[in-house]
């Protein structure tokens, strides 16, 4: 199965509570291009089985933009994949979701820094992490038996 971990697009930096910050015009464009890239990666079927999206506005807007290029069979908003979320708890939650639905092939998480780095480190065999630019994506080939995976592909916006 593939875990697709994505950081939100570029957001405004001032004027609102963190949870309400919106994407900039550049962030919308970044998310759009990332959605196109993800669509090419997914190929003809072009669908995600489950999208888990942070409850923060900029993540919701990113997912909305990405969803112009890909389809999701199910989606859920989560207060757990926010910037200061608990990556171990989310890893356990992902494993639970995967265990209860053996048909899952593609699971997308749209989230934030620094959470995304810690989540990636926790789910990879070699505890690999990376810094995510806005709208960056890491695709992890995830082994449902070992609860770990390897980074298969990475997308960074131009």
Run means of pLDDT, 10 residues per run, the chain, 158 residues:
98 90 97 97 90 98 97 97 97 96 95 97 91 96 96 94
- Judge whether 106 and 2 are in contact, CB under 8 Å: yes
- Give the pLDDT confidence score for residue 128 in this predicted structure: 83
User: In what order do the strands lie in the sheet containing 137-143?
Assistant: 71-78, 47-54, 106-111, 2-7, 137-143, 148-155
- Spelled out in words, what is the top-level CATH class assigned to the domain 2-155? alpha beta
- Give the pLDDT confidence score for residue 45 in this predicted structure: 77
In 10 A of CB 44, how many CB atoms? Answer: 5
How many angstroms separate the CA atoms of 75 and 81, rounded?
14
User: Which two tokens mark 116?
Assistant: 């995304």
The ranges assigned to domains in the chain are 2-155
- Give the pLDDT confidence score for residue 87 in this predicted structure: 98
């Amino acid at each position: 199965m593939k875990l697709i971990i994505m950081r939100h697009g570029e957001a405004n930096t001032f004027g609102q509570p963190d949870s309400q910050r919106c994407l900039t015009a550049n962030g919308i464009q970044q998310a759009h291009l990332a959605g196109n890239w993800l669509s090419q990666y997914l190929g003809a079927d072009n669908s995600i089985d489950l999208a888990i999206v942070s409850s923060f506005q900029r993540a919701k807007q990113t997912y909305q933009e990405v969803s112009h290029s890909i389809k999701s069979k199910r989606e859920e908003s989560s207060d757990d994949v926010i910037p200061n979320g608990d990556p171990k708890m989310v890893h356990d939650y992902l494993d639970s979701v995967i265990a209860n639905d053996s048909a899952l092939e593609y699971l997308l998480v749209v989230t934030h820094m620094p959470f995304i780095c810690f989540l990636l480190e926790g789910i990879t065999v070699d505890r690999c992490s990376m810094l995510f630019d806005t709208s960056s994506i890491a695709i992890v080939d995830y082994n449902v038996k070992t609860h770990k995976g390897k980074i298969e592909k990475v997308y960074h916006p131009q």
